Structures are given as C-alpha cells and as structure tokens.
Structure 1
Amino acid sequence: MTRPASFRVTDTGNRRALRDIRNVVGAPPYACPIGKRGFPDKGSLDDKKLTLVARRPATRKFVASLASKSQPYQQGTNGQHQEDGSQSQYNPPVPLVVPKSSCLDSCTTIDVDYNSSNDIALPMVEEMDDSDLKEVAMEDLVTETIPSIDICDSNNPLAVVEYVEDIYSFYRQTEVTSCVSPDYMSQQFDINEKMRAILIDWLIEVHYKFELMEETLFLTVNIIDRFLARQTVVRKKLQLAGVTAMLLACKYEEVSVPVVEDLILISDRAYTREEVLEMEKLIVNTLQFNMSLPTPYVFMRRFLKAAEADGKLELLSFFIIELCLVEYKMLKFRPSLLAAAAIYTAQCSLRGLKYWTKTSELHSNYSEDQLLECSRLMVDFHQKAGLGKLTGVHRKYSTFKYGCTAKSEPALFLLNTTL
C-alpha cells in the first residue's frame, strides 16, 4: 500500500533517524538551539561571557554565600579584561540571567563583579548591613529541644507511636476513676487494713509461683480495693475475694489463665468451685464489669522509657512500687504519681544523689518537689522491707531471677530532704 501524497517525505534535508542523534560513534555534532543565546557554543569560553540561568531566589543568605565564595580578578583600564594568558590572575565575571518571562529569548544578562567594593546589585535585593549578616547567621542555629523517646520504636507497630501520647493523655483523665477513698476501711466492720496487707502479701507470692505477668498483679490489687470500697466483706470471705480478683485479672491480662481448681488448691481447699464462681459474679456486678482502668503499671512502662532505664533501674523501681501495694496508706496517691515516685526513688538509690531529668518531668508531669512526699515513704518501706512478718516482696526480689534487687541500699538521704 502506498502512502498518500500528503504524507510523502520529499525532502529530508539534514534530518536523521532517531537512533543517529548523538548516540552513534563518529556522528557529526548538531547545532544546539539553546547555545545560540542561553549558553556559549563549544570552544568559545575564552571569548564569550558565561551565562547562567538563575534558578533560585536571590535571598540575602544566597547573596552572602556568593560574596563569601568570590575571588579577585584584574580588570583593565578601558573596562575590558586583561587577556595576558595568565588564567590565575583573574576570574571572569559571572553574569546572571534575570528572566522577564518564561521564554529564553527574553532573558537579560547582568554582570556581577565580585572584586568590586560596592554593594552587589541584584534585583529584589536590599543592601546588607551588619544586622543583616547577623540575621543570616542566626538562621542556621537550631533550638535545643527535648528528644522524643519514641524514635527507636517508629517502625514497631505495637508501640503505636502515632497516638501513644493520646493514650496516656486519656489514662491521666481516667486514672481518678481507678482510685479509691484512702479511708474506705472505716466502712468495713469485720476486716481492717492489716488484714488487707496480709492478703496482698500472700497474693504476691501466689503471683510469683504461677509466673503471671506484672500487669496481672497490679490489676488484682486494684480490683480488690475497688470491691472492698463498695462491698462489705466478712473476714472468712476476704481470701476468697482475693483469689477471685486474681482470677478476673488473669482473664483480662493473661494468655494462659489458671483454672479455678488451681486457685482452690492454692487456698488450701478453703473454698469450693461454686463459691469462687459466685464471688466472681458478685465482684463484676459490683464493679459494673469495668476492668479497663489505668494501674501504676502502665505509667511505670512509660516513665521508665523516659528515664532511659536499664535492667537494674527497672527491677529496683518495681521492687519499690510492689512494696507500696501492701501499704494501705499509699492509696492516697494517684497511680501516675506512685509510678513516677518509684522511679525517682530508685534513681536516687542507685546514684546516691537526687536525680530527675527534664525528660522524665516532661512525660510524667511531676516535678521533683511533687515526688518528695511519696518518695520518702517509699524509702522507709525499702529500709524495713526485710523486717516484720510481711516479707513476700523482699523474698521475691531477693532471688537471682530478680537480680537480688532487695539487697540494694535505700536512698536514706531523702528522709532528711525538706519539701
């Protein structure tokens, strides 16, 4: 089939196939239309001025950088450059192209003389004085900020770095609901705070024997206190309430939950399976099935991360705060304050001096002065941990598994610190 006359190529002139455009060895060079005006032709650098297209705005910082990189060159008396063959004696002026429109044909060339002592004349650039130079230098300064503690977990989806601050902001708003009245025992007629301490000290040993998660222990104590604050319990049912609270905490936190028979066995068969299930229904109805409350454990994890804690500081912090679980008087402190004070007390114990960083203060929202009252009580508990009858926490942290943390020296100097 022949091509129509309108599409026939009659005169190719100097046209070449696409494969022959500057990609065949020995192909003759072709004229570049840009070289006619915007750029110098080949071999004409010695007799033509170099023209550059200004691609960035002429800011004061950019002009200052140009002036700092300038080199002196010699200039003739008649306004022309001296061409004596010595290239090192001068550098040709670099003209700038100031585009008046998007077309290259409408560009104007401006010669910039770096050797001149006068101010640099550029469009839209004001004369710079000393204050301008200082302003340029100040632009490079970086303000000191507190580093983020979540950078290392940016690629960990379980760390939920994107909204972890929102989570802990919600914890702070709701932690009041997890607190109970510090004198709720006055409403109980058959039990007292000493019986509560005996129960929790025993549950800490049960928790250690069953190798349960740390979250389970803190939630167990929280369930017990919230239940006793709303429901009167007789003395012989207090242990039943304790083991049932641990059963509920295991169902909420653990992957592998202990069976009811195990809890009955650990209670020396003092209760039956039916009694445990009846107590379970009573507790969840009294608490309105609300088990999702922030305990000191969730704040411990966040504050330990802010403190850049190692294994030794972490163990000592948990040892101190578990001592507080047994003490009824510590119910007057919020969970977040207990966590921050435990870490602060542990740091003081390990370092031998008061230590609380700005990062810890920022993420805990507690200053050192706000922690001193709670911290001094913790030092007293630490000092007396191995004494008396309730030594379950001390025995637990005296094992090799917990690094013999209970043998660490308490920060006694905090007892003499004034508020």
Structure 2
Amino acid sequence: MEDLEEEPIPDIDSCDAKNPLAVVEYVEEIYNFYRQTEDLGCVCPNYMSNQFDINEKMRAILIDWLIEVHYKFELMDETLFLTVNIIDRFLARQTVVRKKLQLVGVTAMLLACKYEEVCVPVVEDLILISDRAYTRQEVLEMERLMVNTLQFSMSVPTPYVFMRRFLKAAESDKKQEFLSFFIIELCLVEYQMLKYCPSLLAAAAVYTAQCTLRGFKHWSRASELHTNYSEDQLLECSRMMVEFHQKAGHGKLTGVYRKYSTFKFGCAAKSEPALFLMDTRL
C-alpha cells in the first residue's frame, strides 16, 4: 500500500497576496508567536480571592459599563479587549478598594487607547464619563501605578487578534462576524471565562456563532487547522457561551446585548441561541 500523503492546510491567504497590509509572507509566523506568548497575558482564574473589598460581580458591572463607554466613544475593537486585559492583570497583582475600581477601569481604557487608537480620548473626557468621581491627578497617579505594576508590559495577545484570523479561516460573512463578537464580548463580562486562554475563547466564539447561524454543528478542516482546536476541545467553552447568549437580555448587565441589538451590529444579539449544543450526548 502506498503511504497516504498528509492533506495540506487550506490556504486562506491567497486572496490577500497583493495586499501588503496582510503580510501573507509571514502571517503564520506572527500567529505562531501569538500562540507562544498568549499565556503572558493570562491571569490566575481565581485572583479575586486575593481582593478584600471587590468581587466578581463588581468586576462584571465595571466591564459592562466600559463596553458602553467604548461604544459611546466609538473606539476600535482591539481597545476594548486590551482594556479588559489590563484591568485583570492589574487586579491580579494589586489590591484595590471598591471606590477606586471605576478609576482602574477608565485608566485601563486610557492606556489601551494610547496603544491602539489614532485619536486618544483626553483625560477630561474620562473624568466626565465617570460623573467627575475622580480628579485628573488621580487618573494620572493611577496610570503611573498601573504601568509600573505591569512593568510596562501592556500589549499582549488578546482574544481579538485571534478572532480576526479565525473568522477568516471560517470564511465568515458580516452576520457571523457580528455574532462571534457579540458572544465573545459577553465572555469579557464573565469572570469565570478567565480560565480559558485567548485563542480558545476566540475559536469557541467563532464555532458557537457558526453553529448558531447554521442550526447544526459545523467546524471545517480549515478552521481546525488554523485554530489548532478540534470541535471536541471547544464544546465545553462553547456550551458556556450558549448559556450567556440565552440569558444576555435578562438581568441588570445588558450592555453587550443592547449594543448588539442595534442595526449597526446586525441585531446579532437577537439570534436564537444554539441550545442544541447543550446536549452532552452530541
């Protein structure tokens, strides 16, 4: 019998061969680097046990509010993900009293903007959006504390960088893209999702959105090879995402749901959740 040749990885970059911004010559090396370094941006999934005055619920309220602020300021997608990452990495190393938690949030957004945005909101804008709860000096002092606590290691691989690549591998249209981002932004609010690394969260969000729109389980060979995750590896995380989708419009924290219920985001939040993924017999 002849040896079976290994099936090649589908080329998802040929369409961008003439686009210098797509850097197709070394895009694989870039994402291999992201995969090797993504752990640097992860935190202990139970770091709140070291905080004495704040808890998971307060974190959720803060991030839900920041998602609305991010939307109001019309900031770039990557700014939101980096903001949340900076908050978690800082809180994992520094204890914070509850009255300073919002200050941590707006300062993290300021720092993320300086890395990702062309036009950065001024400090006064952030003070105003916080109902003048803090002074300019307090924001600048918190900024100094945060960058020193994080040792100026600000830019790390977040779920966003993987989302762009994995959506491309899945040959996603705008509808699937909006739904994928709706699902993963729901996860930003949920403290329990810190146990998953950024690449797995991104892959599971794309998979969950794909299944939601198709009405059945689907994970292509191209997606599996470019994400390095099989369908079985994604199911646990995906089922949690379906639960978040199901309860998104209820309760007090509905910032993500309201954002993705608008026409601007294709009313993605109003899609029926993929409840069939909850069947553990699948």
Give the TM interval when normalised to the shorter protein: over 0.9
The correspondence for 2:234, drawn from 367, 371, 376, is 371
1:385 alignment counterpart: 248
Q: CA deviation at 1:400?
A: 1.1
Q: CA deviation at 1:324?
A: 0.2
Equivalent pair of 2:82/2:155 in contact (CA under 8 Å) = no
Amino acid paired to 1:229: A
Find the aligned partners of 1:306 and 1:274 in 2 and give their Cα distance: 46
Per-residue deviation, residues 138-180 of structure 1 (Å, max 9, x unmatched) = xxxx996443000011111111111110110010110011100
Q: CA deviation at 1:188?
A: 0.1
Q: CA deviation at 1:336?
A: 0.1
Find the aligned partners of 1:393 and 1:234 in 2 and give their Cα distance: 26
Q: CA deviation at 1:291?
A: 1.2
Please say if 1:229 is aligned against 2:102: no
2:41 alignment counterpart: 178
Find the aligned partners of 1:144 and 1:167 in 2 and give their Cα distance: 23
Find the aligned partners of 2:61 and 2:142 in 1 and give their Cα distance: 20
Report the 3-state secondary structure (helix = DSSP H, G, I; strand = E; otherwise coil) of the residue aligned with 2:243. Answer: helix
1:56 alignment counterpart: none
1:220 alignment counterpart: 83
Find the aligned partners of 2:87 and 2:62 in 1 and give their Cα distance: 10
Find the aligned partners of 1:199 and 1:362 in 2 and give their Cα distance: 36
Q: TM-score, normalised by structure 1?
A: 0.65
The correspondence for 1:311, drawn from 155, 166, 174, is 174
Equivalent pair of 2:211/2:274 in contact (CA under 8 Å) = yes
Amino acid paired to 1:337: L
1:346 alignment counterpart: 209
Amino acid paired to 2:70: H
1:274 alignment counterpart: 137
Look at both structures and tell me which one has the larger radius of gyration over its CA atoms.
1
2:148 alignment counterpart: 285
Equivalence map 1:12-411=2 (5 Å): 145-411=8-274
Q: How many percent identity over aligned positions?
A: 83
Question: Which structure dedicates a bigger proportion of its chain to helix?
Answer: 2
Higher relative contact order (CA 8 A, sep 6+): 2
Find the aligned partners of 2:9 and 2:28 in 1 and give their Cα distance: 15
Amino acid paired to 2:266: G
Find the aligned partners of 1:230 and 1:202 in 2 and give their Cα distance: 23
Report the 3-state secondary structure (helix = DSSP H, G, I; strand = E; otherwise coil) of the residue aligned with 2:156. Answer: coil
Find the aligned partners of 1:298 and 1:184 in 2 and give their Cα distance: 24
Unaligned runs of 5+ in 1: 1-141
Find the aligned partners of 1:194 and 1:144 in 2 and give their Cα distance: 47
Equivalent pair of 2:79/2:116 in contact (CA under 8 Å) = yes
Per-residue deviation, residues 12-53 of structure 1 (Å, max 9, x unmatched) = xxxxxxxxxxxxxxxxxxxxxxxxxxxxxxxxxxxxxxxxxx
Q: CA deviation at 1:418?
A: 3.6
1:41 alignment counterpart: none
Amino acid paired to 2:279: N
Q: CA deviation at 1:322?
A: 0.2
RMSD of the alignment, in Å? 1.2
Q: CA deviation at 1:279?
A: 0.2
Find the aligned partners of 2:7 and 2:210 in 1 and give their Cα distance: 25
Report the 3-state secondary structure (helix = DSSP H, G, I; strand = E; otherwise coil) of the residue aligned with 2:33. Answer: helix
C-alpha spacing 1:348/1:259, structure 2 compared with 1 (3 Å): same
Point out 4+ residue stretches in structure 1 off by more than 6 angstroms.
none
C-alpha spacing 1:272/1:298, structure 2 compared with 1 (3 Å): same
Number of residue equivalences: 278
Find the aligned partners of 2:114 and 2:78 in 1 and give their Cα distance: 12
Q: CA deviation at 1:226?
A: 0.0
Per-residue deviation, residues 123-146 of structure 1 (Å, max 9, x unmatched) = xxxxxxxxxxxxxxxxxxx99644
Unaligned runs of 5+ in 2: none
